[in-house]
Amino acid sequence: MKWATKGCVYALFLVEWKFNTGTPSMDHKQAKTLGDLLRHRRHSLGLSIRQLGERAQVTNTTITRIEQGAFKAPRPDKLARITAALGLGLGEIFARAGYLVPEDLPDYVTYVRTTYPELPETAIEGLFSHFQSVLGQHGLTLTPALVPLTEEVPDDADGGIR
């Protein structure tokens, strides 16, 4: 039996490197929400726990406990294999499990530009403005990690690539 895919080993390395001072953990509600999400996806694919376990090379007991929210800090390599077997995005699942920190996330505008490259710049600016407005309605401001970079790179500095 294989231990993990190359991507899972890389994910485990990143998590261990980032959190060498301790393991992140979820509270019970977060663990339950993550488990519900994984169980719902498994059901929508028509997979049994045993089938998912075989695909992800994870024991049935581990899958059951993650789905029940019993693990506050599931091992990232196992979580990555389960995520891949379910066809879910690793970044989303790792974020829900607490394996990403806000400083690791892109700013709002960069995220939108990357996720929706077909959106015109005026639409991105409108979304950002609306985002700031919603935060203000709730007494919040942008965290430094979400503030977009405002410096323009001259076209000749990088061959015109932005």
Domain boundaries, the chain: 6-103, 106-157
Instruction: Give the pLDDT score at 104.
Output: 63
Q: Which tens digit of pLDDT belongs to each residue from 9-45?
A: 444 444 443 444 445 678 888 899 999 999 999 999 9
Q: Say how many residues make up the chain.
A: 162
pLDDT number for residue 160:
37
Selected residue with higher pLDDT from 102 and 89: 89
Question: Which residue matches tokens 């694919």?
Answer: 45
What is the tens place of the pLDDT at every residue in 108-145?
888 888 888 899 999 999 998 998 899 899 998 876 55
SS3 assignment, position 10: helix
**CATH architecture for the domain at 6-103:** Orthogonal Bundle (1.10)
Q: How far apart are CA 120 and CA 148, in angstroms?
A: 17
Cβ neighbours for 135, distance < 8 A, ≥ 6 positions apart: 141, 142
3-state helix, strand, coil in the chain (%, to 5): 60, 0, 40
The per-residue pLDDT for range 62-88, each reduced to its tens digit, is 999 999 999 888 888 999 999 999 998
Whether 24 contacts 98, CB under 8 Å: yes
- In this structure, the number of other CB atoms found within 10 A of the CB of residue 21 comes to 5
